[in-house]
């Protein structure tokens, strides 16, 4: 049975990634304009296309590894992190180009569409969220606190090790 174009997972992924990149380009422009060093959506296009390409590559790598018998199901973010760590490291032949281009995109500008999507996702499942009761709120709060403290500890260690503080 033939599936409709909107049911093809790769079509959906591409649409989501390119719509996100489009909004990220304008979010980045607004964010960088406020900081005094504007990066226009045209200047952000190449870095965002590279980022989309890296995400798609990580998705393909995940798909290929999942075909290996007994291979654990690992998140795409793990493959993406490993790949980007290598590409941005000094041993990578493309590190200078990757770092120079990707540094035009501000992380905080990318957070805006991600948080908007998260808000929409939570909003549509609010009834299910309410059914979880108070326990889900306690778990959420403890998760946020643990993540914050863990991040602060890691930041302190790295800043101390590098001599920044």
Question: What pLDDT shows up at residue 158?
Answer: 87
Torsion angle (degrees, nearest 10) of CA 146, 151, 154, 155: -150
- Asked whether the predicted pLDDT for residue 3 surpasses 70, the reply is no
| pLDDT tens per residue across span 4-56 | 655 688 888 899 889 889 988 998 999 899 888 899 999 999 999 999 999 99
Helix ranges (H only) for the chain are 9-34, 41-66, 76-88, 95-102, 107-124, 126-131, 134-162
What is the model's pTM?
0.69
d(CA 15, CA 9): 10
Q: Domain ranges in the chain?
A: 5-125, 132-165
| pLDDT tens per residue across span 61-81 | 999 999 999 989 888 999 999
SS3 103: coil
């Amino acid at each position: 049975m033939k599936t409709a174009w909107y049911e093809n997972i790769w079509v959906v992924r591409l649409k989501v990634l390119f719509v996100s990149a489009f909004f990220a380009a304008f979010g980045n422009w607004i964010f960088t304009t406020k900081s005094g060093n504007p990066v226009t959506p045209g200047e952000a296009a190449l870095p965002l296309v590279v980022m989309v390409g890296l995400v798609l590559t990580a998705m393909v790598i995940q798909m290929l590894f999942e075909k290996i018998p007994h291979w654990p199901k690992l998140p795409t973010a793990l493959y993406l992190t490993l790949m980007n760590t290598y590409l941005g490291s000094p041993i990578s032949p493309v590190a200078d180009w990757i770092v120079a281009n990707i540094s035009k995109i501000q992380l905080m500008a990318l957070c805006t569409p991600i948080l908007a999507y998260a808000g929409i996702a939570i909003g549509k499942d609010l009834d299910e969220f309410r059914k979880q009761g108070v326990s889900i709120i306690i778990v959420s709060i403890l998760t946020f606190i643990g993540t914050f403290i863990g991040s602060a500890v890691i930041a302190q260690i790295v800043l101390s090790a590098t001599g920044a503080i």
